[in-house]
Chain A
Amino acid sequence: MKIKNIIITFVSAIAILLSTSVVSFSKVVGDKIVLGAAVSLTGKYSSNGVHTQNGYNMAVDRINSMGGIKVGGKTYKFEIIYYDDESNPKRAAQLAERLISQDGVEFMLGPYSSGLTKAMAPVTEKYGVPMVEANGASRSLFTKGYKYLFAVLAPANLYLDVAIRTAVELNGGKGVRIAQAFEQDAFSQDVRLGILDAAKDTGSEIVIDDKLPKELNDMAATLAKVKAVKPDVLVVSGHTKGALTAIRQIAEMKVDVPMLAMTHCDAAKLSKQHGKNSQYALCASQWHKTLTYKDKWFKDGMTYDADFTKMFGYAPPYQAAESSAALLVFKDAFERANSFDQKKVRDALAATDMQTFYGNIKFAPGGQNVSKPMVLFQVMCDSSGKCENKVVAPLKWASAELIHPIPKWSER
Chain B
Amino acid sequence: MDLLIFQAPILMVQASMDGILLGILFALIAYGMALQWGVMNIINIAQGDLVILGGYIAYFMYLYGIHPAWGVIVSPIIMYFVGIGIYKLVINKVVDRDLFISILATFGISILFMQLMNFAFGADVVLANSGYGTTMLLDNSVTLPNSKIFAAIISIVFAIGLVIYMKKSKLGRAIRATAQNARAAKILGVDTEKVYAATFGINAALCGVAGALISITFTIHPYMGLPYTIRSFMIVIVAGLGNLPGVALSGMGLGVFEEFADYILGTEFRIGSVFLLLVLILVYRRFKLSKKREYLK
Contacts and interface: CB of A to CB of B under 8 A. Distances in A.
Interface of A: 42-47, 87, 181, 184, 207-213, 215, 217-218, 220-222, 224-225, 227-229, 239-241, 244-245, 248-249, 252-254, 267-269, 273-275
Shortest 8 CB-CB distances between A and B: which pairs? A252-B145, A211-B268, A210-B267, A215-B227, A221-B262, A217-B218, A253-B143, A240-B125
B205 interface: no
A252 B143 contact: yes
Chain B, interface residues (CB within 8 Å), range:
35 or more
Contacts of A45: 123
B198 interface: no
Nearest to A206: B1
A239 B221 CA distance: 12
A245 B219 contact: yes
A377 to B, nearest CB: 20
Contact of B267 (A221, A229, A269): A221
Interface string B1-38: 10010011011001100100010000000000000000
Interface in B233-269: 259, 262-263, 266-268
Contacts of B266: 210-211
A204 to B, nearest CB: 16
Contact of A244 (B4, B22, B127, B223): B127
A253 B222 contact: no
Contacts of A227: 141, 143
Contacts of B127: 244, 248, 273
Contacts of B124: 47, 240, 267, 269
A241 B227 CA distance: 14
Given A46-B118, A47-B124, A245-B218, A253 B267 contact: no
B122 interface: yes
B222 A44 contact: yes
A58 B18 CA distance: 48
B125 A221 contact: no
A46 B122 contact: yes
Contacts of A273: 126-127, 129
Contacts of B214: 217
Contacts of B15: 221, 224
Given A211-B267, A220-B18, A252-B148, 20 more contacts: A46-B118, A47-B123, A207-B1, A208-B1, A209-B1, A210-B268, A211-B266, A217-B214, A218-B22, A220-B14, A221-B15, A221-B259, A224-B11, A224-B14, A225-B4, A225-B11, A228-B7, A244-B125, A245-B218, A267-B124
Contacts of B222: 44
Contacts of A275: 129
A113 B242 CA distance: 45
Nearest to A252: B145
B162 interface: no
A42 B119 contact: yes
A405 B126 CA distance: 29
Interface string B103-130: 0000000000001001100111111010
Nearest to B115: A42
A47 B263 contact: no
A267 B271 CA distance: 27
A222 B1 CA distance: 12
A207 B4 CA distance: 11
B270 interface: yes
B268 A268 contact: no
Contact of B271 (A44, A208, A213): A213
B4 A229 contact: yes
B263 A225 contact: yes
B267 A241 contact: no
A46 B123 CA distance: 6
Residue picked from A44, A209, A220, most chain B C-beta under 10 Å: A220
A209 B15 CA distance: 18
Given A224-B15, A252-B143, A253-B143, A241 B123 contact: no
Nearest to A410: B140
Nearest to B8: A228
A241 B219 contact: yes
Contacts of A244: 125, 127, 219
A224 B148 CA distance: 15
Contacts of A213: 267-268, 270-271
A275 B129 CA distance: 10
B134 interface: yes
Contacts of A252: 134, 143, 145, 147-148
A215 B224 contact: yes
A221 B270 CA distance: 10
B268 to A, nearest CB: 4
A81 to B, nearest CB: 23
A303 B129 CA distance: 34
B226 interface: yes
A218 B218 contact: yes
B267 A212 contact: yes
B122 to A, nearest CB: 6
A267 B122 CA distance: 13
Nearest to B124: A47
23 contacts: A210-B267, A210-B268, A212-B267, A213-B270, A215-B227, A218-B218, A220-B18, A221-B267, A224-B11, A224-B15, A227-B141, A228-B10, A239-B125, A240-B125, A244-B127, A249-B145, A252-B143, A252-B145, A253-B143, A254-B134, A254-B136, A254-B140, A273-B126
A87 B119 CA distance: 13
Contacts of A221: 15, 18, 259, 262-263, 267, 270
B265 to A, nearest CB: 11
Nearest to B145: A252
A222 B15 CA distance: 10
A406 to B, nearest CB: 17
A44 B129 contact: no
